[in-house]
Amino acid sequence: MANQRLIYGFHAVNARLWQNPKSITELYVQKEKSDARTREVLEKAAAENVRVHFADADRLNTIAKGARHQGVAGFIDASKNHVHLEDVLDNLREPPLLLVLDGITDPHNLGACLRTADAMGVHAVIAPKDKSAGLNATVSKVACGAAETVPYITVTNLARTLRELKEYGIWIVGTDMGGESDLYHTDLPDSVAWVMGNEGEGMRRLTREHCDMLVAIPMFGTVGSMNVSVSAGMVLSETRRQKVLKAGQ
């Protein structure tokens, strides 16, 4: 199957079983495991009529390509994950909060960003199809289930997508060390799409040109930069803090 994708580990498998069980094409569980987490997987799989294959540790190691699978692995039909940006925006009942990842190629960083996005209530993560890490087993593992809950939307033309977001009244806010203001002195818009660039090169020129504002994250120590998922956590957390304060007014 062309769209078949591997998932492994309890977080990724459980999230898939609860969020989209019909997308699971095959599920493998290690023989003779009877701990609580394994029983939970088996019970949910049975409830959703997901067929389970029991395999020994060597077989699971082969399926998971040597990754730490925790005794559970499976394959999903990734085509059943596809979500359009318009579907997300048109069904929101609150101002959009989006995360745009421009040139994030490390699957560990992508997985961590998805986990952060889920924690901060981001409505969708957007990334260009080219020069970006796609969803794979490593991303699902690092995301701890968030890859199954946060819509991850890939687009062929990021600049055009940013223009479309503006038509929805969404402000495009880029993170940049040379930003006009710093994160803690910026009154953020109600509807915002945060743009995070590649750790090495930052945002691409065309992406930067489509930003409505550039915001710097203040640095108070000796390091010159942070991991992109940490930076994303900081800006999303500050956005949520401001939303809570405004809601309480």
Contacts of 183 (CB under 8 A, 6+ apart): 215, 216, 217, 218, 234, 235, 238
d(CA 139, CA 146): 9
Report whether 25 contacts 75 (CB < 8 A). yes
Q: Cα–Cα distance between 146 and 14 in angstroms, integer? A: 11
Which stretches within 7-106 are classed as H helix?
10-19, 36-47, 57-63, 85-90
Q: What is the largest CA-CA distance in the chain?
A: 59
**CA nearest to 180, candidates 219, 211, 223:** 211
From residue 196, alpha-carbon distances to 60, 100, 109, 115, 206 in Å are 36, 6, 11, 15, 13
154 with 110: CB under 8 angstroms? no
Q: What is the pLDDT of residue 132?
A: 82
Q: If you search the block for the tokens 């819509």, which residue do you land on?
A: 151
- Indicate yes or no: pTM above 0.85: no
Residue range 82-94, pLDDT digits in tens = 567 887 888 788 9
Strands 72-77 and 4-8: antiparallel
What contacts 24+ positions apart, CB below 8 Å, involve 238-241?
238/183, 238/184, 238/188, 239/97, 239/120, 239/188, 239/192, 239/194, 240/97, 240/120, 240/121
Range(s) of the chain covered by CATH 3.40.1280.10: 85-248
For residues 158 and 102, the answer to whether their CB atoms sit within 8 Å is: yes
Return the pLDDT at 14.
84
150 in Cβ contact with 118 (< 8 Å): yes
Q: In whole angstroms, what is the distance from residue 87 CA to residue 209 CA? A: 26
What's the topology of domain 4-77? 60s Ribosomal Protein L30; Chain: A; (3.30.1330)
In the chain, CATH 3.30.1330.30 sits at 4-77
Residue numbers belonging to the annotated binding site for S-adenosyl-L-methionine: 197, 217, 226
**Rounded mean pLDDT for each run of 10 residues along the chain, 249 residues in total:** 75 81 90 90 92 92 87 81 76 91 91 94 92 81 79 90 95 90 94 90 89 92 84 96 85
CATH fold for the domain made of 85-248: Alpha/beta knot (3.40.1280)
Please enumerate, by residue number, every residue annotated as part of a binding site: 197, 217, 226
